[in-house]
Amino acid sequence: MFIISSYSLAILFSVVTMICWGSWANTQKLASKTWRFELFYWDYVIGILLLSLLMGFTMGSIGDSGRGFMEDLVQVESSNYVNALVGGAIFNLSNILLSAAVAISGLAVAFPLGVGIALVLGVFVNYFGEPKGNPYILFLGVLLVAVAIVLNGIAAAKNGAKDNKQNNRGIVLALIAGVLMSFFYRFVASAMDLNNFIAPEAGKATPYSAFFIFAIGIFASNFIINTIVMKKPFVGTPVSFSEYFKGTFKTHLIGILGGLIWGIGTLFSYIASEKAGPAISYALGQGAPMIAAIWGIFIWKEFKGASRATNVLLLLMFVFFIAGLASIVFSGAA
């Protein structure tokens, strides 16, 4: 299988993760013009599952390092299957809530709040599960990111909304999503041998098999979680399964593309976790709010007409995010 051999390449992979995790929601924005997010989400999880198979049979099966994709799947212990599946279910619940928050409050508001909370809590969870990197510099970076999250929340409040009650609902959903999202990565990481991808411990999964099992957890849990959300939506009327099959090929393709983009970022994060450590690779990937905020502010114009004070807060948010991410990167090299 393909693995990376240096910390600098692990950081590069983690930056790709950040870009992917911060960009996939653009496909939801594109589809939302004619498509409810609950319907979009079915195509999104299909895209993740398809990517896990594609990468397993390509990158996960080439070269002489480690175990091949199929060879690895059959030797993974049942407890590690359970960990990766549970990680998929937790992620799915959190991401559905985040998708609902994006639909209600916008990309520039929901992503920095939800994913930012996931970053702060998730770094603690992942670091104490597998300590790598200088903890003082790492947690300084997390503190700076936390300040950026607060600044974004203040900017969102100042920007206001046509329906404050609905906007507040979106913010609450983003916060709940962030808390849940902080735990999924640890479950998947515990299913892998993070110290040696070349000769992984027997019974442990490689990044490719772990990602595939994780994707199955997302797909399977979606039949429960998203079905409930369709029947009891956060906003609007209930959605039926028959409406899904009325979507155009282009609409379905946009959702699948969203899953492919997110999936690439996630797999790259798992591949990077051996050299960078799960806390650092996760933290860098969860710098996605900065990417999402850039899309929301400059492409989707979600803060169009905002006051000067709001714009200053957004600028400070970016400054603190960048400083925080730089500290996280340096923590692994220190």
d(CA 210, CA 75): 12
Q: Say whether pTM exceeds 0.75.
A: yes
pLDDT tops 60 at residue 163: no
* Tens digits of residue pLDDT in 227-243: 999 999 988 899 999 99
Q: Percentage of the chain surpassing pLDDT 70?
A: 97
d(CA 306, CA 180): 31
pLDDT tops 60 at residue 162: no
* Tens digits of residue pLDDT in 13-25: 999 999 999 899 8
pLDDT tops 90 at residue 158: no
Residues contacting residue 12 through CB under 8 Å, at least 6 positions apart = none
Predicted confidence at residue 150, as pLDDT, reads 81
d(CA 198, CA 127): 22
Q: Rounded to the nearest 10 degrees, what angle do helices 164-190 and 78-105 cross at?
A: 160
d(CA 270, CA 112): 22
**Greater pLDDT, 250 or 108:** 250
CA angle 16, 192, 328 (to 5 degrees): 40
DSSP assignment of 8-74 equals: HHHHHHHHHHHHHHHHTHHHHHHHTTTS-HHHHHHHHHHHHHHHHHHHHHTTTTSSSSS--HHHHHH
Report the mean per-residue pLDDT for the chain: 90
pLDDT tops 90 at residue 271: yes
